[in-house]
Amino acid sequence: MEFNKILVPVTGRPVDDETMRLACQLAKKNKGKIWAVCVIAVKRSLPLDAEIKSETAKAENILDHISTVAEEADYEVETDLLQAREVGPTIVDEAVEREVNLIIMGISYKRRFGQFSLGNVLPYVLRNAPCQVILYHQYTS
Amino acid sequence: MYIIVIGGGKVGYFLARALLDEGHEILVVEKSPARTEFISNELGSVCVRGDGCEVSTLTDAGTGRAEMFIAVTGEDEDNLVACQVAKHKFNVPRTVARINNPKNEAIFKELGIDVTVSSTNIIMESIQEEVPTHSLTHLLDIRDKGLEIVELKIPADAKTVGKEIRELSLPPESRLFLIIPGQGKPRVPTASTVIQAEDQIIAITTPESEEALRTALRGS
């Protein structure tokens, strides 16, 4: 499989680093392009274009960090900060707009009410993605 | 404008779609998970699942910044409660409620809902406009004054044809303010204006005087 346009949604969790390294490895073969996106979910109590300084600063730090991770892997990525009501549809829209052929998402083992849960975003992306999706789970002992 | 629509049934869905097309920011609040998913798939991230009568749901929906709140569920009680919570708890400037049973219209007004829409009344008004047996058509209700603007067409066999307006026994609460003749230009009636067959008369009256006005203008 050849991937030359890869989208990597990041959230600031430790798994992001490994996910980005994997994306770099996959993109290198074909000199592909990687976009790292961080989505700020804006509550309905605020307008969509509201300036949420704390969240913006946090997201910018996440994207700066992920750029550094990519540089360490000897690769250059393009970063994008997005504001939206819901994260899942935004990732899918971004994938459609950029015509990517792969989305790589890092996941952690989350429990909700004692049960393993993928949350809302991942199932949405898996259902609606216009391309292949790789879920990367980082092993922690 | 940020508009919240309570109820994602057919009315809510098409209303949200139309308002989105007009460029408004819309949020539909719907109880049913299947319906919520349908609307989200069709219209994007504009639908949340929840009970529009609950304060917590409305808080999450950002009702505090909504400029208009429209409740169009199939239950009058839900529409009333949702609008009241929006009006009194979140100070939404404009609330609109759908009324399924026309008898509830008065209570909705009494309780401060700004605009009520009764599909039964709308259909009734259309029937009055389209079906000739209903000689008097409601054009506009001026509810806070207890007045209404009506239109009446003078049939060819009306006893008032050829009479001057001063000869008619019009109810004191009613005023005629425009006559649109079958042929010719509209004119403002005076006491000496003669009633002709096929004249369309626009009048202002009270609901109680409707029948007396009809009788006065048709002569029977």
Show the 3-state SS of A3-23.
CCEEEEECCCCCHHHHHHHHH
Contact residues on chain A for B89, CB-CB shorter than 8 A: none
Domain residue limits at B203: 135-218
Mark whether B118 and B144 lie in a shared domain: no
In a domain, B29, yes or no: yes
Indicate the residue among B122, B155, B181 that finishes a domain: B122
Residues B101, B15 share a domain = yes
Specify whether B112 is located in the same domain as B10.
Answer: yes
> pLDDT for A8-26, tens place per residue?
999 999 899 999 999 999 9
Interface test with A, best of B20, B37, B45 (most A CBs within 10 A): B45
DSSP for residue A46: S
Min Cα–Cα distance to chain A from B4, Å = 11
Among B97, B122, B147, give the residue marking a domain's end: B122
Q: Within an 8 Å CB–CB cutoff, is residue B62 touching chain A?
A: yes
Please tell me the predicted confidence (pLDDT) of residue B153.
85
Is B45's CB within 8 Å of A46's CB? no
Give me the CATH number covering residue B143. 3.30.70.1450
The pLDDT of residue A120: 84
Report yes or no: B35 and B9 within 8 Å, Cβ to Cβ: yes
- In this prediction, residue B158 carries a pLDDT of 85
Count other Cβ atoms within 10 Å, centred on residue B130: 9
The CA distance from A27 to A25, in Å, is 6
pLDDT at B8: 94
Cβ pair B27:A84 closer than 8 A: no
Q: How many CB atoms lie within 10 A of CB A72?
A: 12
- Compute the mean pLDDT over every residue in chain A, rounded to the nearest whole number: 90
- Predicted ipTM? 0.71
Domain identity same for B117 and B147? no
Probe site for chain A from B42, B65, B89 (most A CB atoms < 10 A):
B65
The answer to whether residue A60 scores a pLDDT higher than 90 is yes
- B60 to A86: CB separation less than 8 angstroms, yes or no: no
Q: Is residue B150 part of a domain?
A: yes
B105/B145 same-domain check: no
Q: Does residue B17 form part of some domain?
A: yes
pLDDT score of A62: 95
What is the CB neighbour count within 10 angstroms for residue B59?
15
Domain map (residue ranges) of chain A: 5-137
pLDDT tens track for A65-109? 999 999 998 898 999 999 999 999 999 999 999 999 999 999 887
Amino acid A137: pLDDT = 87
Residue B58 pLDDT: 95
Indicate the residue of A43, A46, A89 with minimum beta-carbon distance to B44: A89
B144 within a domain of the structure (yes/no)? yes
CA A116 to chain centre: 21
Q: Do A44 and B45 touch (CB under 8 A)?
A: no
Inside any domain, residue B127: no
Q: Are residues B107 and B144 in the same domain?
A: no
B144 and B117 both lie in a single domain: no
- Tell me the whole-structure pTM to 2 decimals: 0.70
Q: pLDDT tens track of chain B, all 220 residues?
A: 999 999 999 999 999 999 999 999 999 999 999 999 999 989 988 999 999 999 999 999 999 999 999 999 999 999 999 999 999 999 999 999 999 888 898 889 888 889 999 888 788 777 766 665 556 787 888 877 888 898 888 888 888 889 898 988 899 989 998 999 888 889 899 999 999 888 889 999 998 888 888 888 887 6
Residue at token pair 């009494």 = B110
Q: What is the pLDDT of residue A4?
A: 86
**Between 3.40.50.620, 3.30.429.10, 3.40.50.300, 3.10.129.10, what CATH number should domain A5-137 receive?**
3.40.50.620
Residues of chain A found within 8 Å of residue B25, distances taken between Cβ atoms = 47-48
Partners of B137 in beta bridges: B151
